[in-house]
Amino acid sequence: LEGIGRDELVLHYQPRFKVDGVTVASVEALVRWRHPRLGLLPPDRFIALAEESELIVLLGNWVIREACTKAKAWPLEIMVSVNMSPAQFSRSDVVHDVAEALRHTGLAAHRLELEITENVMLNDVEGALQTMNSLKELGVRLNMDDFGTGYSSLGYLRTYPFDSIKIDKRFVQSLGKSASDRSVVQAIINLGNAMGMTVTAEGVETAEQLALLNDDQCHEVQGFLLSRPVDNDVLVQIMRRQRANTATESSG
């Protein structure tokens, strides 16, 4: 994990699309570790280790700053989503850290979304609620990640100031295979609508899944079918293309 201090971390970016599958709605930042011997490591190979110590705070803060810096320079003024570890909530003053990142980079608060799993509420329900309310006061958006996989999400969802929810990929990937999982997905979409939240389906890998999500009026989609995580240069190309297309449409 010395890589954190040696410029070995890099962010890749996975766009999130409107359910039309064409319009980029926002972009999720995903951290990778460019290990000198082991190559490009995905987060599940090192986040758990970082969470055992204060390193998760250093890593988390680096990710937020880097994501805000890059987003500020993108050709489209869309939102960047950053995953936050529950450990950051308990080990540091995340409200201060996020405010500093916004101030330092000059990114508008409404362009930053924090993705949080419900595990953040496990240890300190009251503290987590307070922190989230303070984050909302900064003007950032809050997204509940991996929805449907944790504990008593319904109760949490009502009291916590989430703007959006992400349906966990395990439900999305059995769309078209399991009728009951389609019902679960429909139920989550209805729930999101009832609570005024944007609903994203993650892990969309097939055209059939996308068609079903479109039929069921899910708001946004993300997954390998639409785009894999890409580096910042490729993302900027995608955004330039989209900007050019939009310009052509509105002038013609």
By the criterion CB under 6 A, which residues form the site for ligand G?
A: 14, 30, 42, 83, 145-146, 169, 202-205, 223-224, 229
Contact between 85 and Mn ion (CB under 5 A)?
A: no
Q: CA angle, corner 205, sides to 150 and 215, nearest 5?
A: 85
3-class DSSP state for residue 156? helix
Nearer Cβ to ligand G (99/141): 141
Contact between 66 and Mn ion (CB under 5 A)?
A: no
- The answer to whether 83 and 112 have CB atoms below 8 angstroms apart is no
At closest approach, how far in Å is the CB of 174 from ligand G? 12
Nearer Cβ to Mn ion (63/212): 63
Contact between 173 and Mn ion (CB under 5 A)?
A: no
Of these partners, ligand G, Mn ion, none, which one is at the site of residue 66 (CB under 5 to 8 Å by kind)? none
Contact between 83 and Mn ion (CB under 5 A)?
A: yes
Nearer Cβ to Mn ion (225/243): 225
At closest approach, how far in Å is the CB of 205 from ligand G? 5
Nearer Cβ to ligand G (151/224): 224
At closest approach, how far in Å is the CB of 116 from ligand G? 10
Nearer Cβ to Mn ion (28/183): 28
Contact between 145 and Mn ion (CB under 5 A)?
A: yes
Beta strand 164-167 pairing with 79-83: unpaired
Q: What does the chain come to in residues?
A: 252
Contact between 168 and Mn ion (CB under 5 A)?
A: no
Which residue do the tokens 């729930």 mark? 191
At closest approach, how far in Å is the CB of 2 from Mn ion? 26
Contact between 115 and Mn ion (CB under 5 A)?
A: yes
**Beta strands of the chain (E only): which ranges?**
9-18, 24-35, 39-41, 79-83, 112-117, 141-147, 164-167, 198-201, 220-221
222 CB contacts (<8 Å, ≥6 apart)?
14, 15, 16, 17, 28, 166, 200, 201, 202, 203, 204
